[in-house]
Structure 1
């Protein structure tokens, strides 16, 4: 009966819940409706912008009776930028939302009903936490635009400042924009696959203060290169690394394979806890170092190490978690598919004088079999997979090793509970989940899970 409600018609309704994308949910004449930026308990006026046989989509026109948890967004482009979806929700309520996300996913798997889910650990000050930003660059009416993409779009939304990233990134981008406006550097057009500058990547070492800038270009070199280097580094002497990333493919993949240093070092250095890490342009390095340290310490706590254990760290990246584990384990084996990440991981272990870590490059399942063939029998396995979670073959290889404990670090509750359910059905029992807010004002949440073998 959805067709009985006309597109562009105006209606009043009450929002009853949020979905996992923080969209408001309600009912209109018995038909489910989705409304962006509306909160539970609010009485709102909406304009119908999409009609389907089974649901409606409404655009928020006005809030007639606001929820107690509604707050004023701190960003002027909040309603347009695709970066943050929860700025209109008070921070304590954001943490509740993320705890509920984890609980809702766990409740759908019968083997996980006894798992304890802790409340989400938040930040004292949930602002300016990001150490990395990636800006698309484009042209609009012959004017340079730099910003973030709108939701489900390649429209670039400009903003002079971003309240969730380190303020030094705003300064770098302001200077680059100023330079581009009077330079010979052409701007990439993704429809024509022409022009040079595609993206700008900025990384900050939050403790070291070192800054890395990477220009992603549709070419091999940069006009006005020397003047660009001189101008940027004179304005911001904290910049220790300037690189060109060459990406001449017609693709939505942002970074190309080749990085060419044009000033300073290939890496910048930062610290997590008592450890130092060198970070390269393509390194995966968590974007919120304050919460990352808490995340890693929770993972070590759940590993329950006495100093005698052998630990396998799957999807180890540049070796961050491995270093935290190595201080309390006898031996750590880190496994990572990306060759450049393994190179960085080995360097980071040496940088921290950790001699009880061995890094193996290759697919997780294959390297686990190799360790088994070497008669390596880990007491603890730690996994930190990408959003898609672990392949079943990887879980089977872990189960075959019969570790006493597992720690599962996840950025995607849906794939986390899928994998936890499989482990629970195969002798590995999840016991507790600790959500940690690494991404305030967004819908993302990181979870750390403690798992033990059932026959212990």
Structure 2
């Protein structure tokens, strides 16, 4: 086998990034845009000792799971890796991804996982579900201003006018901004020269409130125009404010040479510095919610789940897994703007939330006030720093040693439940150690990366916890990303 050799390949499996997997002449081949069940003509592009990479030259026999995508750009755009796969098969793929990581990395047996598995939770509509989009701004080859998404594994912008995963209002907003930039002589940011003004356009939409936020991320201190009489910011606001639901217009200053999208300072130039939206509580067989939902104030820098319909299912399940009766003290680690914390507060005695982003904690406190919630307290800092310090201070206050901390019970030293929803990197080792020391009866782990979830669960379950339930949630249809939630119960002190 040599590079550029052409051969027939049957795709028998799919990798974690959605690539097709087939076997030929004793080698395993990974093929982008090939689906399980396809029979293809493949061209070898890169060869290693026992495996290689190939591209699709021709689909000779399409998979029975192959469907016609709504977006003609799905192969070029880096956003949707598996849009050509039927939705039922997407859900199966994501459930298996979580299951396989829990086996391979977490060390859980197949029988154990199958006995604890809850059915994967899909969506009624896998399109138009995103309430947030971040569009890079640049030039095409002809010098026209374009907005869109980066091609896979590059920073080449694929012009996308109407992403089928986002709301239809995005296109109208982007058209206005591009026309405004052309008229006012405002240039896109160039990553190579670090010149130009507009880097990204951030758009948020409240599915319940119908409120819209637009935030321009700029490489400068203000929206200054090179030409055109009048204030450029005023012109932009005048045009955008005519869109139904427009609530907040701002710019965010990011002059750093970085891939991080948002800078630290945001300036609101029209309307409010936030939009509002509501997540409703859903009923489950063993859980009857109180109230109709929680309303949140969302700023440009707030973390807020992008799929609101699935978020209602995810958070209601987290609350059901927590098994609250109204007498429990709960820690919510990596709490963001208090989305899960405020859900928990309706059934808990007291909730403590921890988040590293100061603005998010400010939003969490405001959200508690907005909903009349008084039993939620929030702390700024890393969970791995705040939790140990809080733990040590509580021990000193109660005059408790490490030997007696695990057997005594105070509100601070042994919470009844810890809920954790970390970023993709998972929990810090120090945070896991402190969770084990605080020894809650239950841990509810919400994860956006099942590999780091499995790594962390292995540590927790080797010490004193048992996996009781796990469930996959499709928060990101047509992508390979999957959300999951696990319930752990303490089996020893």
Shorter-normalised TM range? over 0.9
Measured after TM superposition, the shift of residue 112 of structure 1 is 5.5
Equivalent residue runs for 1:215-254 within 5 Å: 215-222=216-223, 223=225, 224-234=232-242, 236-254=243-261
Q: Which residue of 1 is the match for residue 215 of structure 2?
A: 214
Q: Which residue of 1 is the match for residue 22 of structure 2?
A: 26
Assess if the C-alpha contact under 8 Å between 1:111 and 1:425 holds in 2: no
Measured against aligned partners, the alpha-carbon deviations of 1:396-433 in whole angstroms (never above 9, x if no partner) come to: 10111111111000000000011111001110111111
Q: Which residue of 1 is the match for residue 125 of structure 2?
A: 125
Q: Which residue of 1 is the match for residue 360 of structure 2?
A: 341
Measured against aligned partners, the alpha-carbon deviations of 1:236-260 in whole angstroms (never above 9, x if no partner) come to: 1421111111111111111111111
Equivalent residue runs for 1:180-219 within 5 Å: 180-219=181-220
- In structure 2, what is the Cα distance between the partners aligned to 1:121 and 1:411? 14
Measured against aligned partners, the alpha-carbon deviations of 1:28-83 in whole angstroms (never above 9, x if no partner) come to: 22111111111222210112222333322111121111111111111010110000
Assess if the C-alpha contact under 8 Å between 1:395 and 1:423 holds in 2: yes
Measured against aligned partners, the alpha-carbon deviations of 1:136-182 in whole angstroms (never above 9, x if no partner) come to: 00112311121000000011011221111111122211222232232
- In structure 2, what is the Cα distance between the partners aligned to 1:217 and 1:175? 17
Assess if the C-alpha contact under 8 Å between 2:135 and 2:148 holds in 1: yes
Structure 2 residue matching 1:110: 3-state secondary structure: coil
Equivalent residue runs for 1:356-395 within 5 Å: 356-372=375-391, 373-374=393-394, 375=410, 376=412, 377-395=414-432
- In structure 2, what is the Cα distance between the partners aligned to 1:237 and 1:381? 41
Assess if the C-alpha contact under 8 Å between 2:147 and 2:161 holds in 1: no
- In structure 2, what is the Cα distance between the partners aligned to 1:357 and 1:311? 9
Structure 1 unaligned runs (5+)?
Answer: none
Q: Normalising by structure 2, report the TM-score.
A: 0.89
Q: Which residue of 1 is the match for residue 310 of structure 2?
A: 291
Assess if the C-alpha contact under 8 Å between 1:96 and 1:119 holds in 2: no
Question: CA distance change for structure 1 residues 110 and 186 in 2, over 3 Å: closer, same or farther?
Answer: closer
Please tell me the root mean square deviation across aligned C-alpha atoms, in Å.
Answer: 1.3
Measured after TM superposition, the shift of residue 111 of structure 1 is 4.5
Assess if the C-alpha contact under 8 Å between 2:388 and 2:431 holds in 1: no
Assess if the C-alpha contact under 8 Å between 2:30 and 2:54 holds in 1: yes
Q: Which residue of 2 is the match for residue 46 of structure 1?
A: 42
- In structure 2, what is the Cα distance between the partners aligned to 1:27 and 1:268? 51
Q: Normalising by structure 1, report the TM-score.
A: 0.96
- In structure 1, what is the Cα distance between the partners aligned to 2:71 and 2:52? 28
Question: CA distance change for structure 1 residues 391 and 112 in 2, over 3 Å: closer, same or farther?
Answer: farther
User: Of 434, 440, 445, which aligns to 2:477?
Assistant: 440
Structure 2 residue matching 1:138: 3-state secondary structure: strand
Q: Which residue of 2 is the match for residue 431 of structure 1?
A: 468
- In structure 2, what is the Cα distance between the partners aligned to 1:7 and 1:150? 24
Q: Which residue of 2 is the match for residue 150 of structure 1?
A: 151
1:110 aligns to 2:107 (yes or no) = yes
Q: Which residue of 2 is the match for residue 277 of structure 1?
A: 296
1:419 aligns to 2:415 (yes or no) = no
Question: CA distance change for structure 1 residues 111 and 28 in 2, over 3 Å: closer, same or farther?
Answer: closer
Measured against aligned partners, the alpha-carbon deviations of 1:115-147 in whole angstroms (never above 9, x if no partner) come to: 422231000111100000000001123111210
Structure 1 stretches of 4+ with a deviation exceeding 4 A read none
Equivalent residue runs for 1:290-329 within 5 Å: 290-329=309-348
Q: Which residue of 1 is the match for residue 285 of structure 2?
A: none
Measured after TM superposition, the shift of residue 267 of structure 1 is 0.6
1:93 aligns to 2:89 (yes or no) = yes
